[in-house]
Amino acid sequence: MDATLDELGRPLRDLRLSVTDRCNFRCTYCMPKAAFGPDYRFLDRRELLSFEELARVSAVAVGLGVRKLRITGGEPLVRRDVEVLVGLLAELGVDLSLTTNASLLPRKAQALRDAGLRRITVSLDSLDDATFRAMNDVDFPVAAVLEGIAAAEAAGLEVKVNCVVRRGLNEGDVVRLARHFRGTPHVLRFIEYMDVGHTNRWTPDDVVPGREILARIAADAPLEPVDRHYRGEVAKRWRYADGSGEIGLITSVSEPFCGDCTRARLSAEGRLYTCLFAVAGHDLRAPLRGGASDEDLHRRLAEIWRVRTDRYSELRASTEPAAAAAAPKVEMSYIGG
């Protein structure tokens, strides 16, 4: 594999593929109704990369050293026949996963597994039904997400659960979530509320630092640190001292990990972003549809990565957070998490 490094010596190892900018939730930290209402213009079908185009870019990226592919959105399961894409990507022989709100998992889990998917990440921000319904803002119940998780497990998928923690909203449910998933095979990960895009109106006061989350859980059940699996792993890992499970903490705000970031993101319309907090992407759809060879795409991807200098979270930590948050950035719903 090509050991292409960016300006800070970071290899390209993880590619996240957005298959749609649409979602059936309106989570307040991602796609708030005030910005993504009935009049919002989503991408037309012809603007989206086809499954074959997504698979082609992925194959080129694997040739550059990518070892992990993640299918994202929006909500990826609203893209019709997404299991066809799973089948194409599974043939590349790298770690393949998908992130979902679980609303469509009961009818999709087995098809995804049959197509070659092995891992799935489910978003669940609270076990308190009123809180969760308020956060997803479409009145979707917790029980239905748990049904989706059960369907994924029954289909043989490995499940991780992500919880975004926002001050004044759901930090009081951290221990309840930890207790619920302790003793199960599912790894629960807590994510600090981040200033992705602008529509969520983020402020530093909204952030519950990872150390506070950890302290809450450790006070209920002793924890011990676990070494990371690989360079670029975003979650700090902790396991229960009695061996009853593991949790993760993703601390992009309080403890930035830009120095080990090995991720790129491809939007549903084919723009490559080298940072979650990027301002603009690099158009790959034009060369894909303009006759570019795989060698041309390989060179283009390598060129984009080699000049990468992104380290937004580190810069945010060293400057005024509120000012950094006001800088132009792409919305998370457009390029996935």
Q: Please check whether residue 330 lies inside any domain of the structure.
A: yes
Q: What is the mean pLDDT of each run of 10 residues along the chain (337 residues)?
A: 82 97 92 91 95 98 97 96 98 98 98 98 97 95 98 98 96 97 97 81 90 97 90 88 96 89 96 90 97 97 95 78 64 75
pLDDT for 330? 78
Is there a domain that residue 221 lies in? Answer: yes
- Domain presence at residue 36: yes
**Quick one: pLDDT at residue 1?**
45
Count of beta carbons in the 10 Å neighbourhood of residue 298 = 18
Residue-range definition of the domain harbouring residue 34: 14-335
Q: Looking at the 3D structure of the chain, how many domains does it have?
A: 1
- Residue 50 near residue 289 (C-beta atoms within 8 A): no
- How far is Cα 125 from Cα 132, in angstroms, rounded to an integer? 6
Find, among 87, 93, 94, the residue nearest to 113 by Cα: 87
- For residue 1, being part of any structural domain is answered with no
From CA 77, how far away is CA 197, in angstroms rounded? 23
Q: Determine, yes or no, domain membership for 4.
A: no
Structure tokens at 105: 């998992």
Burial of 144 (0-12, 13-18, 19+ CB in 10 A): middle
DSSP annotation of 47 reads G
Residue 320 class from Cβ within 10 Å (0-12 exposed, 13-18 middle, 19+ buried)? exposed
Helix, strand, or coil (residue 175): helix
Pairing of strands 246-250, 68-72: unpaired
Minimal CA–CA distance to 94: which of 118, 113, 122?
Answer: 118
> How far is C-alpha 298 from the geometric centre of its chain's CA atoms?
24
Q: Which amino acid is at 125?
A: D
Phi, psi of 82 (to 5 degrees): -60, -20
Contacts of residue 12, Cβ cutoff 8 Å, sequence gap at least 6: 4, 6, 61, 64, 65, 66, 262, 264, 301, 305
Confirm whether 9 is domain-assigned.
no
Residue 212 in contact with residue 45, Cβ under 8 Å? no
Instruction: Supply the pLDDT for residue 4.
Output: 87
CA gap 74, 151 in Å, rounded: 21
Judge whether 141 lies within some domain: yes
CATH number at 133 reads 3.20.20.70
Residue 8 lies in a domain: no
